[in-house]
């Protein structure tokens, strides 16, 4: 495992975009595999439901999207690192030295400097997190649902419909989880590992997105069809 980690690090340093794209492709494939496996198992145990087959084209679309947008993730994290710099990722872990443990002027100055650096780092992490939540995440969700609609053969109208139906609930759900993950990511993880670190979390989040894009959309359409049918039946009953 350590050897693979060193190999991945060397490749990411030499070819960041290719390495991150390959990593994202693997993790997104695993995420969709997990989502479909859970759905197949659920439907197979449900009475009156046909057991669906695994959809390889669905996984392929998911992998294609993740691979294509992965460079945006790399550039985004680089931008945040330049725009809101932190002097050192070790700021949080600086320990007191023996000569700064007393009450001398040097010790007081060292402690004040350490606290100042930690406050500055906390502010920068907050700015990174706010930018990520308000700008990057809604943009990625919009691209995801729009791209999936197009890749599945739909047009602009279908993409617009999916975005209108799925963007807001997905974004609100993400707000319950992603700020915690990204706070750790921005505060403690070196730049080269930030996209893969987020992708490890995305292994499960991608499963959710895959489910939202397929099963939840079908549920919304079924509910809309039932509501339309009920609306048509109401005037007839009144007659």
Spatial CA neighbour of 32 closest among 233, 210, 229, 235: 210
Q: Which residue has the higher pLDDT, 93 or 199?
A: 199
Arithmetic mean of pLDDT, 25-43: 83
Give the residue numbers spanning the domain of 70: 2-238
pLDDT for 174: 85
**Count of domains in the chain?**
1
Provide the mean pLDDT of the chain.
80
For the stretch 56-88, pLDDT in tens is 998 999 899 999 999 999 999 999 999 999 876
What is the predicted pLDDT for the residue at 49?
Answer: 65
The Cα–Cα gap between 36 and 54 comes to: 7
At 148-196, the pLDDT tens digits run: 999 988 888 989 988 998 899 889 888 888 899 899 989 888 888 888 7
Task: Label each residue of the chain as H, E or C.
Answer: CHHHHHHHHHHHHHCHHHHHHHHHHHHHHHHHHHHHHHHHHHHHCCCCCCCCCCCHHHHHHHHHHHHHHHHHHHHHHHHHHHHCCCCCHHHHHCCCCHHHCCCCHHHHHHHHHHHHHHHHHHHHHHHHHHHHHHHHHHHHHHHHHHHHHHHCCCCHHHHHHHHHHHHHHHHHHHCCCHHHHHHHHHHHCCHHHHHHHHHHHHHHHHHHHHHHHHHHHHHHHHHHHHHHHHHHHHHHHHC
């Amino acid at each position: 495992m350590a050897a693979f980690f060193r190999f991945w690090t060397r490749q990411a340093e030499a070819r960041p975009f290719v390495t991150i794209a390959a990593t994202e492709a693997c993790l997104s494939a695993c995420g969709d595999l997990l989502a479909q496996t859970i759905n197949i198992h659920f439907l197979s145990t449900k009475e009156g439901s046909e057991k669906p087959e695994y959809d390889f084209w669905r996984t392929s679309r998911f992998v294609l999207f993740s691979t294509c947008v992965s460079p945006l993730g790399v550039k985004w994290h680089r931008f945040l690192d330049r725009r809101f710099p932190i002097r050192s990722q070790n700021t949080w872990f600086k320990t007191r030295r023996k000569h700064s443990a007393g009450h001398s002027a040097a010790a007081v100055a060292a402690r004040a400097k350490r606290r100042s650096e930690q406050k500055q780092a906390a502010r920068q992490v907050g700015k990174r997190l706010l930018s990520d939540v308000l700008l990057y995440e809604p943009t990625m969700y919009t691209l995801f649902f729009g791209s999936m609609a197009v890749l599945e053969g739909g047009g602009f109208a279908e993409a617009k419909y999916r975005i209108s139906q799925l963007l807001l609930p997905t974004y609100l759900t993400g707000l319950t989880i992603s700020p915690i993950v990204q706070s750790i990511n921005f505060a403690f993880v070196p730049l080269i590992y930030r996209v893969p670190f987020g992708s490890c979390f995305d292994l499960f989040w991608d499963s959710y997105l895959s489910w939202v894009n397929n099963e939840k959309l079908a549920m919304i359409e079924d509910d809309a069809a039932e509501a339309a049918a009920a609306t048509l039946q109401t005037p007839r009953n009144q007659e």
